[in-house]
Chains A and B, each alone.
Chain A
Amino acid sequence: MNFFSATGIVFRRQLRQNLRNPVWIIIGLAQPVLYLCLFGPLLKPLASQIGTSNAYTFFVPGLLLQLGLFGALFAGFGLVSEWREGVIEAERVTPAPRTALLLGRVLRDCALVAVQGVVLIALGFAFGLRGDVGGMLLGLIITVLLGGACSSASYALGLATKSEDVLAPILNSIALPVMLLSGIMLPISVATGAPKWLVWLSDVIPTKYVVNGIRTAFTGDLLAGPTVWAFAWAAIFVAAGLWIGTRTFRKDA
């Protein structure tokens, strides 16, 4: 069984299931859209204080990261229910490479994050986001990469634990601090008056550099340090996520 065609078969089957029940795609988009609509306007008068001329050019990259992180991090739940229905085992006894079973699913998640990201950026535009088109595209790519990394790791965790009860506390205890310390909503920097310990704490959270990089990219600075760092971190995350996912899918489950 060819690796790429097996990946394609799994991808198509998964995507078809999503399209039949698009309500989850919409729910996944609801959180960042609500932040955009209900929190974004509060940032507008603070734009100069947080060191930007356009609050949405600051805020939308953060929401993109949130989308990539949260949308994909909870993908493992779907895998647990697929496992319970016997779908995973049924696929594992076929000659299809087991890595293809993972990759087809991860690519499906990447596709969903990409579509959701485009919708989010377009909505941001309606609110007043302005930026460089190439930069926004790069920001979207970084987001999708991050989403792929998260979904792969989440599938690994789902397959290893096979229990929503174990998955939920683990994922929540990762997601919330990461989101708060990445400076998605407000910048975490001494320049804008954040306490030193908090800045130090956020400095060790790699996703902070991803958000900063996407912000820089949005301004059109594609080769600036922060943008390159964001891309590098996203690549590292993808490599790590796929490594742990592949390892778990190849093992006995």
Chain B
Amino acid sequence: MIRARGLARTFQTRRGGEQVTVEAVKGVDLDVEAGEIVGFLGPNGAGKTTTLRMLTTLLAPTGGTATVAGHDLASDPVGVRRSIGYVSQSGSTASAGVKAGEEIVDHGLLYGIDRARAEARGRELFEQLDLAGMWGREPKTLSGGQRRRLDIAMGLVHDPGLVFLDEPTTGLDPQARANLWVHIAGLRQRLGTTVFLTTHYLDEADALCDRVLVIDHGEIVAADTPDALKRQVAGDLIELVLGDPSHVSLAAEHLARIASDSATDVNGAVVSGRVPSAGLELPGLLRSLDAAGVALASIEVRRPTLDDVFLTMTGRSLRDGR
């Protein structure tokens, strides 16, 4: 569905009177198969949106090639536009002076669909996206989640085989987010739509995506299934909170015996380290700590998250970049 090779974009800006070239995207290779839901993960400024804008013909690449939905990005941008749907971060509809139903019909008309079909398709989408009864409403009177679903309906009016969603759940409350995930997953289930979405929420990528591409500083640093990515992080994290802070070095010694690379981290009364499998290692660890007379206030075990993956790949947390 998408095949990009060396896709790059540089911007010319002035900094202190000097011409500076900023490499927003440094040469991205990516492949998305038909029917996949692929997450594009990275902190703000990593090049997510720039890549997305190139793939959707909104921004001309300064390097590389791409084929999107069977059309060459450089030679047939109109063919690309005809075959894709795009839901931007900022929305797609005016807030006042228009009605939700009119917006979707007008949008369909711009794709060359006749009025009757655009309206039928719009009403069908409203039904599927839980927007029934919103046809005659002004978009500004809709809730955040409804407005977002309206944006998605706008992107689907011409039955595209491939949809780009730019941070679809940013700014929504947890309930509306979970609801939107169900709808996005339903797109593929019902229509076989390929979905390419950007996000900086790890749980979103985890819950929704078959594959995750991690981008940082304009380069793809990882591409795999969420589980495989998590396996790249060396195991589960064990955090021991000590009752007596003077025992930290003793506790660290015991944890280091079972930790991957014997690496432990001490932070105040908290000793942490990664082990290949916490379930297998924990009973032995507790026994040996007990025998050494190290009292624990609490213990925590954490399965690796995509945030940990990001930290391992880039040496910094996703949240730092935001």
Interface presence of A21 (CB below 8 A): yes
* Interface presence of A111 (CB below 8 A): no
In the assembly, what is the distance between CA of A207 and CA of B6, in Å?
A: 51
A17: which of B86, B90, B94, B110 is its contact (CB, 8 Å)?
B94
Interface residues of A in 23-45 (CB under 8 A from B): none
- Surface stretch bound by A, among B76-84, B214-222, B298-306, B310-318: B76-84
User: A95–B151 Cα gap in the complex (Å)?
Assistant: 18
Q: For the complex, is A82 an interface residue (Cβ under 8 Å from B)?
A: yes
Asked if B97 and A85 sit within 8 Å, CB to CB, the answer is no
Q: B81 and A85: CB pair below 8 A?
A: no
The reply on A90 being an interface residue by CB < 8 A is yes
- Give Cα A152–Cα B90 distance, bound, in whole angstroms: 24
State which of A1, A12, A252 has its C-beta within 8 Å of the C-beta of B112.
A1
**Contact A85/B91 with A1-B110, A252-B58 known, Cβ cut-off 8 Å:** yes
Whether A21 lies near B97 (C-beta < 8 A) is yes
Q: Are A89 and B97 in contact (CB under 8 A)?
A: no
Chain B residues, Cβ within 8 Å of A252: 58-60
Does B296 have its Cβ within 8 Å of any Cβ on chain A? Answer: no
Give the chain B neighbours of A89 by CB distance below 8 A. Answer: 58, 86, 88, 90, 92
Q: A85-B95, A87-B92 known; A95 and B82 CB under 8 Å?
A: yes
The distance from the CB of A10 to the nearest CB of chain B, in whole angstroms, is 8
CB-based contact B154/A90 at 8 Å: yes
A1 CA to B77 CA in the complex, in Å? 13
| B199 smallest CB distance to A (angstroms) | 18
What does DSSP make chain B's interface, helix, strand, loop or mixed?
A: loop
Q: Is the CB of A84 within 8 A of B109?
A: no
Query: Measured between alpha carbons, how far is A30 from B106 in the docked complex, in Å?
Result: 32
Distance in Å: Cβ of B283 to nearest Cβ of chain A: 55
Task: Give the CA-CA distance A17 to B140 in the complex, in Å.
Answer: 14
**Chain B contact residue count (CB 8 A cutoff):** 31
Cross-chain contact A94 with B107 (CB below 8 angstroms): yes
Picked from A6, A16, A94, the residue with its CB within 8 Å of the CB of B98 is A16
Contact between A91 and B110, CB atoms less than 8 A apart = yes
**B193 at interface (Cβ–Cβ under 8 A)?**
no
- Residues on B with C-beta less than 8 A from A87 are 92-94
Chain B residues with Cβ below 8 Å from A9 are 106, 109-110
Contact pick for A93, options B81, B96, B98, CB 8 Å: B81
Interface size class of A (residues with CB under 8 A): 20 to 34
CB of B93 within 8 A of CB of A1, answer no
B110 lies within 8 A of A96 (CB)? yes
**How far, in Å, is B106 (CB) from chain A's closest CB?**
5
CB distance from B305 to the nearest CB of A (A): 31
Which chain B residues numbered 83 to 122 have a C-beta less than 8 Å away from chain A?
84-86, 88-98, 102, 106-107, 109-112
- Whether A85 lies near B90 (C-beta < 8 A) is yes
**A residues in contact with B86, CB < 8 Å:** 89-90, 93
Give min CB distance, B59 to chain A, whole Å. Answer: 5
Alpha-carbon distance between A51 and B59 when the two chains are bound, in angstroms: 57
- The one of A5, A6, A84, A85 in contact with B93, judged by C-beta atoms closer than 8 angstroms, is A85
* Contact residues, B57-86 vs A (CB, 8 A): 57-60, 78, 81-82, 84-86
**Complex Cα spacing A247 to B224, Å:** 42
**With a CB–CB cut-off of 8 A, which chain B residues contact A6?**
110
CB closest residue in chain B, given A84 = B90
CB distance from B166 to the nearest CB of A (A): 10
- CB A115 to nearest CB in B, in angstroms, measures 18
Contact indicator B88/A86 (Cβ below 8 Å): yes
Q: Chain A residues near B97 (CB, 8 Å)?
A: 16-18, 20-21
B272 touches A (CB below 8 Å):
no
Complex CA distance for A233 and B65, rounded to whole angstroms: 45
Q: Is the CB of B98 within 8 A of A13?
A: yes
User: What is the distance, in angstroms, from B239's C-beta to the closest C-beta of chain A?
Assistant: 43
Query: Complex Cα distance A89/B97, Å?
Result: 19
Closest Cβ of chain A: how far from B262's Cβ, in Å? 52
Contacts of B58 in A (CB 8 A): 89, 92-93, 252-253
Q: Which of B81, B88, B91 is in CB contact (< 8 Å) with A94?
A: B81
List A85-141 residues whose CB lies under 8 Å from chain B.
Answer: 85-87, 89-96
A21–B96 CB distance below 8 A: yes
Q: 23 A-B pairs, CB-CB below 8 angstroms?
A: A1-B112, A2-B112, A5-B109, A9-B110, A16-B98, A16-B102, A82-B94, A85-B95, A86-B89, A90-B91, A90-B93, A90-B154, A93-B56, A93-B57, A93-B81, A93-B84, A94-B81, A94-B107, A94-B110, A94-B111, A95-B111, A252-B58, A253-B58
Please list the 8 inter-chain residue pairs (A to B) with the smallest Cβ-Cβ separation, ordered nearest first: A90-B92, A86-B90, A17-B97, A86-B91, A94-B110, A93-B86, A96-B110, A20-B97
